Structure 1
Amino acid sequence: MHNFLPIAYFQKNFVPFADAKISIATHALHYGTGAFGGLRGIPDPQNEKQILLFRLDRHCQRLSHSAKVLNYNLPPDKIQNVIVNFVKKNNPATSFYIRPFVYTSDLGIAPRLHNIEKDFFVYGLELGDYLSPDGVSCRISSWYRQEDRSLPLRAKISGAYITSSLAKTEAVESGFDEAILINSQGKVCEASGMNIFIVRNGQLITPGFDQDILEGITRDSILTLARDLEIPTVERPVDKSELLIADEVFLSGTAARITPVKRVENYELSQNRPITEKLRDKLTAITENRDSNYQDWVFPISVD
């Protein structure tokens, strides 16, 4: 059961969440011609009159790029302005998640992106841990990640998430928490909605953009932190067998944050995760605005 924030941004107005409804004939509902973002916010632990958003500028930029793929000009500053006002009107009292969404809002049929109306809405919900912080079990999905030559993977296109949905349900219904997708080259790609990292011999390894992954903002943050912490880091293809012998494996994403993997298929992984824990502790400190070196990653919003 989700606890949705009471106010949504819909059809260029702030309205009660319950009143933000679309028609069953909405184009994006039929053809997956939408794109979404997702970012977290928390009440500032040090200032009760302030809300903190993590890397708001990057999230707005990525959604703007996704909109561009849908032939929709939606500047990042417009997205940011709406999100800031959305937070002020809701003034959440606990950790929360914001879902901005761009979509073809016309009513009718025929898949296309030209000569069709587009729109943009925002809603949110209270959200603590998306996955268990103690670790998750993963299976290798029988569904393969799409290729960028057939679908624009640099954008978070809603229609692309059918593969993630199939993979996630397959994993859960076969006794696992999460799925790991393989790409068309037979290499490890990502989880159902998260990027993936492994640690081998003290080196942090993650698939690069040439492996058909999403350009994750949490992923980018982790790579930056690892380099600043002088953890050897490389972006390269990852083989399935490397998951089974890795010293550490973890997933990353806005909802998942940094989530350790404790088992892949029937292979138990070590519970000693020094690099995972070091990165997770650092990221938590930054999101709570307790690290002055990364204050530009945190966007404070003053609330009553």
Structure 2
Amino acid sequence: MNSFLAIAYFQQQFLPFDEAKLSIATHALHYGTGAVGGLRGIPNPQNPQEILLFRLERHCQRLSNSARFLHYDLAAATIKTRIIEFVQRNQPQQPFYIRPLVYTAGLGIAPRLHQVEKDFLIYGLYLDSYLPNEVRCRISSWSRQADASLPLRGKLTSAYIVSALAKTEAVESGFDEAILLNAQGKVSEASGMNVFIVRDGQLITPGVEQDILEGITRDSVLTLARDLGIPICERAVDKSELLIADEVFLCGTAAKITPICQVENYCLPSARPITQMLQQKLVAITENREPHYREWVDTIFLG
């Protein structure tokens, strides 16, 4: 059962979450013409009157870029200002997830992006763990879309139909999560997370040409690995590599870093030194305990 934050931002005003209502004729509901963001916030363990947001500016810039696919000019600075006020008005006291959404808000039919009103909203929900501590994955029968048919550089709502099909297929067949291959049969991503493997001490992840979402947590993990002296490689990854890797993990804003213990009927090693090192580092950064990465964390004063 989801527990939502009390205040939402809707139609250019802050109001109680229960009063933020959309018409059943809203254009985006019918045509998938929306773009989402998602970021985590936690109370500062050292000061409960402060909220820590991880990589706020990157999240705001990505949503601004995604809005451009919808022919909507929404500045990253505007998104940031509204998110900060959203947090201050809600005064959250436990870990939470912020969901900003850009969408075609006009009423009526006909798939289009011209001559249709757009809008921007924000809501949030309390969220601790999104996935179990380790997950079992199946290779989905569904393929990740190609950038030739869907603008994958945006976090667009229409893309999530394949994620939903893959996730349900995985769960209903006894797994926790799905891994999608692209049209060339190479590993792309999970239902809403990027994929990393470790082989012979090298950290490997599918490159941006593999139809992945350019994840912010993915970028953070790559930066941390470089700083820690872990060899990294962005390249095409074969399905068979998942089965013989030393370590495999997923990463994303909601999932954070989550190790994979099984792919299909292949069990993976329980020792995960690189995954654990990156997990511990990322937790320390999000809790603002790593001075070198302090620019990644925005501190919001609740007053």
Matched ranges for 1:64-79 at <5 A: 64-79=64-79
Deviation at 1:48, TM superposition (A): 1.8
The aligned residue for residue 261 of structure 1 is 260
Supply the AA of the counterpart residue of 2:301. S
- 1:132 and 1:68 map into 2 onto residues whose CA distance is 35
Query: In percent, how many aligned pairs have the same letter?
Result: 69
CA offset digits 1:6-39 (Å, max 9, x no partner): 0000000000000001000000000000000000
The aligned residue for residue 41 of structure 2 is 41
Matched ranges for 1:181-196 at <5 A: 181-196=180-195
- 1:48 and 1:269 map into 2 onto residues whose CA distance is 39
Supply the AA of the counterpart residue of 1:93. Q
The aligned residue for residue 87 of structure 1 is 87
In structure 2, the residue corresponding to 1:18 is in which secondary structure?
A: helix
The aligned residue for residue 208 of structure 1 is 207
The aligned residue for residue 230 of structure 1 is 229
Matched ranges for 1:165-176 at <5 A: 165-176=164-175
Supply the AA of the counterpart residue of 2:244. I
RMSD: 0.4
Structure 2 residue 220 is the aligned partner of structure 1 residue 221: yes
The aligned residue for residue 146 of structure 1 is 145
Deviation at 1:49, TM superposition (A): 1.3
Deviation at 1:224, TM superposition (A): 0.1
The aligned residue for residue 96 of structure 2 is 96
CA offset digits 1:37-82 (Å, max 9, x no partner): 0000000001121100000000000000000011000000000000
| Residues 44 and 50 in structure 2, CA contact (< 8 A), matched pair in contact too | yes
Structure 1 alignment gaps of length 5 or more: none
The aligned residue for residue 17 of structure 1 is 17
Q: TM-score, normalised by structure 1?
A: 0.99
- 2:163 and 2:100 map into 1 onto residues whose CA distance is 19
Deviation at 1:128, TM superposition (A): 0.4
Structure 2 alignment gaps of length 5 or more: none
The aligned residue for residue 112 of structure 1 is 112
Deviation at 1:113, TM superposition (A): 0.3
- 1:261 and 1:249 map into 2 onto residues whose CA distance is 5
Task: Return structure 1 stretches of 4+ with deviation > 4 angstroms.
Answer: none
- 1:239 and 1:190 map into 2 onto residues whose CA distance is 12
